[in-house]
Amino acid sequence: MAKTPYTEPNDDGPHDTEFKTDAGSKDQSLESHRSDARGHDLRTNQGVRIADNHNSLKAGERGPTLMEDFILREKLNHFDHERIPERIVHARGAAAHGYFEAYDNAAQYSKAALFSEGGKQTPVFVRFSTVQGGRGSNDTVRDVRGFATKFYTEEGNWDLVGNDMPVFFMQDAAKFPDFVHAVKPEPHNEIPQGQSAHDTFWDFVSLFPESAHMVLWTMSDRAFPRHYRNMEGFGVHSFRLIDRQGTSRFVKFHWKPLAGTCSLIWDEAQKLWGRDPDFNRRAMWDDIENGDFLEYELGIQVVEEADEHKFDFDILDATKLIPEEQVPVTPIGKMVLNRNPDNYFAETEQVAFSPGHVVPGIDFSNDPLLQGRLFSYLDTQMLRLSGPNFHEIPINRPVCPFHNNQRDAPHRQTINKGQASYEPNSIDDGWPRQTPAAEENGGYETHHERIDAHKVRARSDSFGDHYSQARLFWNSQTEVEKEHIIAAYTFELSKVARPYIRERQIKEILPNIDPELARRVGENHGIEAPNAPTAPEGELGKSSQESSEALSLMARLPGNIKHRKVAILAADGVDAKQLDALAAKLEEGGAQAVIVTPSMAPVTASNGQSVLPDAMLNGLPSVTMDAVIVAGGDGSATRLADSGQGRYYVQEAYKHLKAIAALGEGKRLLEAAGVPTEEEGIYLGEMVEEVFDAFAKALGQHRVWSRDSRANDMPA
Ligand code: HDD
């Protein structure tokens, strides 16, 4: 290949290579930007000490304020500009710092430095988000969750900007603005917030069959994870990894949560909107503060270039996943999130991700959704972060040195020395110079893909199948999950005012996923659905497998009680020893015991001991807990049974399929609340040891699934 004539590479090899990352590199780089006001005087932004921070400068004590008051003007001026445009999508988010550690096998797939050797640690910053709602919306809405990771590698930043679902609503980026306009709060009244249950969303998706697969995912319980530690993450697109020999392979990225997958239940998620709108971000924050870190494995599905066309779908189509039975997920590293940000705005709000931020060894595929994203993210940061210098904001700065000839623009921080801001130059001896691509430490080189094609505004026939994987997902769900999906479509469509939109979804989309799904949702809306698919053969497509275990949330249940929160209900008369024994048992398994009492006043145990509550009944209601234990004692449960809040606590826990145990007289609370005492998932006994193991086993399954069909009979 001909070289650009003025290329003047580093003659003595690449420079800047002495720079190495470790888990703490980003923390160190942020340190010089941190500011701690303790022990300092109050001053203006120009450094002048302020003598009175309470009164503006006036002409007389009761007179008008003077323009001259530069202290007031600076303060109000700054305040008036405190907000920046929120993200058009993914506005509500929460983030954490941590590190990624490569496994021994990673280097064989990619020459990227972060994968170069087993045990190598690279700092990361991860932002989780919801998509539809504004910054002030609720955490537990039915929505996709963003899972965006910035790796601060020694070769520059790599952003893996993914979601908690492996597919997307469309195939071509050209449809993204239409989709977002349809799902966002409606333009005339800005309703509803944080929800897809409205006319414009269902109008669009019922006319847009390629969205059927992703919409089905969002109608599943995946749409409201119990905790960010309990959700999977996906890069969605096929990307490329390039190894040291220059071989390119297609990969799909997966984050597998080590704590297993589990979700909320719709009724619980809705109640949490009011009880704790910050439920997910609070849980992550608190856990990190308590040293209970979030952990994930990074995995890849690898497809050799020669196998690109061997699937019954197109791997460039983002509405398709690669079933794990066809290409297993190979773990190549682990991520630990272990540090909360110091400042929400400076870090979580100002972090700027882009799928276009890649490092040597990582490359794109021609997925037309990904290709459009490569433009959109940089463009949006220009508005959101006021110009092209957003890379200088501390959270966005690479940890490695970076020099180029880009200059000026708003808010420029760097003071570039020298006269030459162009290349080639002789004034600064040609610096900064290019680095040729190499097996390692090389400049970025795009994979040499041969493209010989007509310019067309068209879509490949191989993108024509819109339903086969929706069917695959449906077939892979357990009965309980299917019931929840039917309930979700029923609920969402019940919020659609226009009957013809409901009818279109039920008659023209759902039968193509599964006629039984269509029939059941139709029945709930008094609409008769066709009993066979209606879409043309090509759109229906064919999947070479019937179902895939990995697509069910049940495939990766936690299996133990680690990280779970268990309410222990207590009132005056409680058996204090039992409380201690319960707390010890729970903590031994890594769970958190939370003593919940009628008010925040200490309760007096049967032995006279004073017990300090962690929370009161309506302060941390059952929706914020994973399971409930009613402690025994002398009159404790009777007092709880006499209170509406006490009865409601266990009724709601029952309704949300939570494991419930009652010790000794604790049973009285269940009886008073109308909670069945003799069925799976309810554990009664006199002593902690009698019930604990069975209770813990049920909690490890996350919920008492066998109760699902009866749960809604509970009027909580
Ligand atoms: Fe996007 C933000 C994930 C398709 C345009 N997107 C954004 C964020 C995540 C995703 C996690 C939040 C990042 C953060 O925390 O700051 N987006 C996805 C995934 C997609 C996807 C997994 C499909 C596979 N997105 C997509 C398309 C477009 C965009 C097709 C436009 C053509 N996305 C944006 C954006 C955002 C964004 C408007 C808003 C804020 C931002 O970028 O920084 O540019």
Q: What tens digit of pLDDT does each residue of 527-558 get?
A: 999 999 999 999 999 999 999 999 999 999 99
> CATH number, domain at 510?
1.20.1370.20
Give the per-residue pLDDT at 611: 97
Please name every residue paired with 336 in a beta bridge, in sequence order, or none if there are none: 99, 295
**Taking 70 as the threshold, does the pLDDT of residue 3 lie above it?**
no
Kindly tell me if the per-residue pLDDT of 11 is higher than 70: no
Pocket test for ligand 1, best of 84, 125, 161, 234 (most atoms within 8 A of CB): 161
pLDDT (average), residues 416-443: 94
Which of 87, 164, 354, 382 is the best mutation target for the ligand 1 pocket, counting ligand atoms within 8 Å of the beta carbon and taking the most?
87
Distance of CA 69 to the CA centre of its chain: 46
609 within 8 A of 577, measured Cβ to Cβ = no
80 within domain boundaries: no
Report yes or no on 505 lying in a domain. Answer: yes
CA distances in angstroms from 698 to 403, 606, 701, listed in the order given: 57, 30, 5
DSSP per-residue codes, 584-596: HHHHHTT-EEEEE
Q: Are residues 537 and 651 in the same domain?
A: no
Point out the residues that are catalytic. Answer: 90, 163
How far is it, in rounded angstroms, from Cα 310 to Cα 315? 9
Q: Which of ligand 1's atoms lies nearest the C-alpha of 318?
A: 24
Average pLDDT, whole number, for the chain? 96
Q: How close is the Cα of 89 to the center of ligand 1, in Å?
A: 7
Tell me what pLDDT residue 171 has: 98
Residue 132 Cα to ligand 1 midpoint, Å, equals 11
Q: State if residue 380 touches ligand 1 by the CB under 6 angstroms criterion.
A: yes
In a shared domain, residues 253 and 122: yes
Q: How far is the CA of 266 from the centre of ligand 1 (A)?
A: 25
Q: Is residue 459 situated within a structural domain?
A: no
In a domain, 420, yes or no: no
Q: Does 617 share its domain with 647?
A: yes
Total domains, the chain: 3
CATH of the domain at 246: 2.40.180.10
Residues 238 and 106 in one domain: yes
Query: 551-595 pLDDT, tens per residue?
Result: 999 999 999 999 999 999 999 999 999 999 999 999 999 999 999
pLDDT value of position 499: 98
Residue 63 and residue 319 in contact, taking contact as beta carbons nearer than 8 Å: no
Question: Which amino acid does the sequence have at 464?
Answer: G
Residue 249, annotated as binding a ligand: no
Report CA Rg, the chain. 29
**Do 277 and 385 sit in the same domain of this protein?**
yes
Whether residue 669 is contained in a domain is answered as yes
pLDDT at 8 over 80: no
Q: Give yes or no: residues 512 and 572 share one domain.
A: no
> Are 191 and 306 members of one domain?
yes
Beta-carbon contacts of residue 79 (< 8 Å; ≥ 6 apart): none
Last residue of a domain, one of 507, 522, 555: 555
Q: Are strands 615-616 and 592-597 parallel, antiparallel or unpaired?
A: parallel
Centre of ligand 1 to C-alpha 376, Å, is 8
Identify the pLDDT of residue 317.
98
* Single-letter amino acid, residue 475: N
* Cα–Cα distance, 366 to 238 (Å, whole number): 9
Burial of 404 (0-12, 13-18, 19+ CB in 10 A): exposed
Q: Where is 256: in which H helix or E strand?
A: strand 248-257
For ligand 1, say whether the CB of 372 is within 6 Å of any of its atoms.
yes
Residue 234 Cβ < 6 Å to ligand 1: no
> In this structure, what CATH number is given to the domain that contains residue 688?
3.40.50.880
The confidence score (pLDDT) of residue 4 equals 54
Give ipTM to 2 decimals.
0.99
Residue 562 has phi, psi (to 5 degrees) of -55, 140
Instruction: Report CA(357)–ligand 1 centroid distance (Å).
Output: 13
State pLDDT tens for residues 375-412: 999 999 999 999 999 999 999 999 999 999 999 999 99
88 lines ligand 1 (CB under 6 A): yes
pLDDT tens digits along 491-504? 999 999 999 999 99
- CA 197 to CA 219: how far, in whole Å? 11
Regarding whether 216 and 332 lie in a shared domain, the answer is yes
Region 343-349: mean pLDDT is 98
Residue 177: inside a domain = yes
Q: Which domain holds residue 680?
A: 558-711
Q: Is the pLDDT of residue 251 over 60?
A: yes
**Chosen domain end from 373, 396, 419:** 396
pLDDT at 249: 98
Same domain as 593, residue 484: no
Q: Examine residue 75 and state whether it is found in any structural domain, yes or no.
A: no
Separation of first and last alpha carbons in the chain: 72
pLDDT on residue 5 = 47
The residue nearest atom 12 of ligand 1, judged by CA position, is: 90
Do 123 and 194 lie in a common domain? yes
Q: Are residues 270 and 309 in the same domain?
A: yes
Residue 169 lies in a domain: yes
- Last residue of one domain, picked from the residues 515, 536, 555: 555
Cis peptide bond upstream of 621, omega within 30: no
Which string of DSSP letters, residue by residue, matches 319-351? Answer: T----TTTSPPEEEEEEEEEE--S-IIIIIIT-
Do both 485 and 599 map to the same domain?
no
